[in-house]
Amino acid sequence: MDETRDFFDEMAPHYDADLPSLGWDPVALVRAWPFVAPPSTRVLDAGCGTGAVLEHYAGAARTLAGFDLAPEMVRIARRRRALRDADLRVASAADDWPYEDGAFDRVVAIAMLEFVERLDSALDELSRVLAPGGRALVSVEDLRDAGGTERERQELRYGRFPLWRRTFDDLDVCIPPELEIVCAERVRAYTVIERGFACAYHVVELARN
C-alpha cells in the first residue's frame, strides 16, 4: 500500500500531461457513458487522482467529493477552481470509506479498483455510501488485454506495487446483492509502455436498490 501511494505521489505532477501519450482519457470515458448526474445530486469520485473526472461533474448545484490514496494527487485536485468547494480527502478504498451511509447519489471509481486486493470489500463500501436509487460507474482491469491476450492475475507493477486483473465473472461475484448491473462494456484502456500492450477495462454501471 505504501509503495502504491508513493508511486502515485511521484506520478501526480505529470499524470494529466502523460495521459494522451498512453492513449487513455478517463474524462472522455465518463462523457461518452450515458451516466447522468442530475442537478443537485451528490457525486463521489473514489480514487479521484488529480480530479479531472470529478471536475466533469462540477456545476448544476451538484455537491462534489473525492478521495485518493495519494496525498499529492489530492493536493493537485484541490488546485482546480471547479473543485474549490469539493470535499477532497486522502483515504484508501481498501479501508472503510470515510462517509455516512447513503451519502451520495452517484459514485465513480475509474482506473482505481485494480489497486485494491479485496474487490468485494471495496464494492460493499461503495454500495454503503450510495443512496437507494443511486448509480455508480466503475472500471475493473480485465484479465485479458485489449488484444485479447490473457495477462497475470496479479502483477507487481514496475516491481513495486501489486495490480489485480479480473474477469467479468470475478467482478460479478463481488457485487453485493443490493447493486444491480445496468450495463457493462469492455473498453481499451491505457498502454502499459514497459510491457508493450494496451490493457482493457470492464466498465460497469451499477444501480443501488
Ligand X SMILES: C[S@@+](CC[C@H](N)C(=O)[O-])C[C@H]1O[C@@H](n2cnc3c(N)ncnc32)[C@H](O)[C@@H]1O
| Piece of 57-65, 69-77, 143-151, 175-183 that binds ligand X (CB under 6 A) | 69-77
DSSP 130: E
Using only C-alpha atoms, what is the Rg of the chain?
16
Which of 92, 79, 47 is closest to 65 using CA atoms?
47
Strand partners, 135: 106, 207
Pick between residue 88 and residue 143 the one whose CB is nearest to ligand X: 88
Give, for 92, the enclosing helix (H) or strand (E): none
Distance CA(82)–CA(54), nearest Å, equals 9
Minimal distance, residue 209 CB to ligand X, in Å:
25
Minimal distance, residue 172 CB to ligand X, in Å:
21
User: CB-side exposure of 91: number of CA atoms within 13 Å?
Assistant: 18
Give the contact letters, 108-147, x = binds to ligand X (CB under 6 A), - = no.
--xxx--xx-------------------------------
Pick between residue 53 and residue 86 the one whose CB is nearest to ligand X: 53
Residues near ligand X (CB under 6 A) are: 4, 8, 26, 47-49, 52-53, 68-70, 73, 92-94, 110-112, 115-116
